[in-house]
DNA sequence: AAATGAACCTGTTTGC
DNA sequence: TGCAAACAGGTTCATT
């Protein structure tokens, strides 16, 4: 489910739902085997107040008075509010009892997500410390930086921008969409992409992710009411999942292929 | 060092 | 209709 815009939308939705004074009465783990085993120390959240929820890359960081819950949604992770009397489902792996009445569950059928407890400086966490810059951080993510990286890389440009050590938050959908916007073929070797075109790519990544966050924002009310993630798909894809459909710019059929084990979509006319 | 493919899981869609 | 294969928004690990 989530790339950066979806995670950001979940973050905003959770804050809307919980506010900044909610108290975690108790944490219950029903399934410990996620991407990594959920540590028993997770119970240190018991009794803590949620002061803030921030985001780094596709990770949510729940700041609970200096104790941090680090949370990645993997492919299928979501947070849901259970209705009164509703039993948790088979994929509801963690239950946070909030302010005595509400139960917030972490639901994740494929279990690729993660939950970890962090008491030290959270940005030193082994999953966070090697991440590249945030795409919307213009000070650290810019064309000179990307060019420096790309010029030695033979790999496809799509795979380079999906490398979380290069830039974070760009997943399979937004990689295709950004490359379409920039007019670059996904399979081109990164080192063969001119600096001028990398400038267009940096702009495209920012524009696409920014627009997607805005679009995700419009579904926050769904999230508040249902506590679910329905409606996060309402992004306007120009190429993703549009194989054989007419290109919105030139009308030619959109191509589809598999690169690096992931589906890729592009327009052979508009992208060179 | 960088590129590649397999692995971790389950649910849904596709194709014979 | 039924069943198996393919596929899904992510990341890590072992192997070339």
pLDDT of A224 reads: 52
| pLDDT tier for residue A235 given thresholds of 50, 70 and 90 | low
Distance of C1' in C12 from CA in A199, Å:
30
Cβ A199 to strand C below 7 Å: no
Among A121-125, A131-135, A215-219, the range of highest mean pLDDT: A131-135
A21 has pLDDT over 90: no
Span A238-248, average pLDDT: 94
- Phi and psi based region of residue A211 (left: phi greater than 0; alpha: psi -120 to 50; beta: remaining): alpha
Q: At what angle do helices A195-217 and A143-150 cross, to 10 degrees?
A: 120
Is the shortest CB-to-strand distance from A10 to strand C under 7 Å?
A: no
Give the CA A244 to C1' C1 distance in Å: 30
Which position has the higher pLDDT, A256 or A233? A256
Residue A159 CB lies within 7 Å of the nucleic strand B = yes
Better pLDDT: A151 or A1: A151
Q: Are A190 and A150 in contact (CB under 8 A)?
A: yes
Measured CA distances, A205 to A160, A210, A261 (Å): 13, 8, 22
Provide the pLDDT for residue A225. 47
A239 CB contacts (<8 Å, ≥6 apart)?
A176, A177, A180, A247, A254, A265, A266, A267
How far apart CA A97 and CA A76 sit, in angstroms, is 22
CB A17 within 8 Å of CB A103: no
Q: Is A68 helix (H, G, I), strand (E, B) or coil?
A: strand
Catalytic residues of A: 2-3, 58, 262
Task: Note the pLDDT tens digit of each residue in A27-44.
Answer: 999 999 999 999 999 999
Identify whether the C-beta of residue A57 lies closer than 8 Å to the C-beta of residue A128: yes
CA of A199 to C1' of C5 (A): 42
Residue A171 has pLDDT above 80, yes or no: yes
**What mean pLDDT is predicted for residues A110-139?**
96
Quick one: average pLDDT of A82-111? 95
- What integer pLDDT is reported at residue A232 of this predicted model? 53
Chain B nucleotides covered by protein, CB below 7 Å? 1-11
Q: Which residue is nearest to nucleotide C12 (CA to C1')?
A: A35
Q: How many residues does chain A have?
A: 272
User: CB of A152 under 7 A from strand B?
Assistant: yes
- For residue A111, how many other CB atoms are within 10 A of its CB? 16
Q: Which nucleotide has the shortest C1'-to-CA distance from A165?
A: C11
- Is A148 within 7 A of strand B by CB distance? no
Rounded distance in angstroms from the CA atom of residue A172 to the C1' atom of nucleotide C16 = 25
pLDDT for position A221: 39
- Asked if residue A203 lies in contact with residue A182, where contact means CB atoms within 8 angstroms, the answer is yes
The predicted structure's pLDDT at residue A155 = 97
The arithmetic mean of pLDDT across residues A154-178, rounded, is 97
């Amino acid at each position: 489910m989530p790339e950066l815009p979806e995670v950001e939308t979940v973050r905003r939705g959770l804050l809307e739902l919980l506010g900044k004074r909610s108290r975690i009465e108790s944490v219950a783990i029903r399934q410990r085997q996620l991407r990594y085993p959920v540590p028993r120390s997770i119970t240190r959240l018991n009794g803590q107040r949620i002061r803030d929820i921030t985001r780094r890359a596709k990770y949510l960081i729940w700041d609970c008075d200096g104790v941090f819950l680090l949370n990645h949604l993997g492919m299928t992770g979501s947070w849901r509010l259970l209705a009164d009397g509703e039993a948790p489902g088979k994929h509801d792996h963690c239950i946070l009892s909030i302010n005595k009445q509400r139960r917030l569950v972490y639901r994740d059928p494929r279990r690729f997500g993660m939950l970890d407890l962090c008491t030290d400086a959270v940005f030193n966490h082994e999953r966070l410390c090697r991440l590249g810059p945030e795409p919307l951080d213009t000070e650290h993510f810019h064309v000179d930086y990307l060019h420096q990286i790309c010029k030695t890389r033979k790999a496809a440009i799509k795979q380079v921008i999906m490398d979380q050590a290069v830039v974070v938050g760009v997943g399979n959908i937004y990689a295709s969409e950004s490359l379409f916007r920039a007019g670059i073929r996904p399979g081109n070797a990164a080192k063969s992409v001119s600096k001028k075109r990398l400038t267009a790519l940096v702009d495209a990544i920012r524009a696409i992710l920014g627009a997607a966050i805005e679009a995700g924002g419009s579904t926050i009310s769904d999230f508040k009411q249902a506590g679910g993630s329905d409606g996060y798909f309402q992004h306007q894809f120009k190429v993703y999942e549009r194989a054989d459909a007419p290109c919105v710019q030139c009308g030619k059929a959109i191509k589809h292929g598999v690169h690096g084990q992931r589906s890729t979509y592009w327009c052979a006319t508009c992208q060179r």
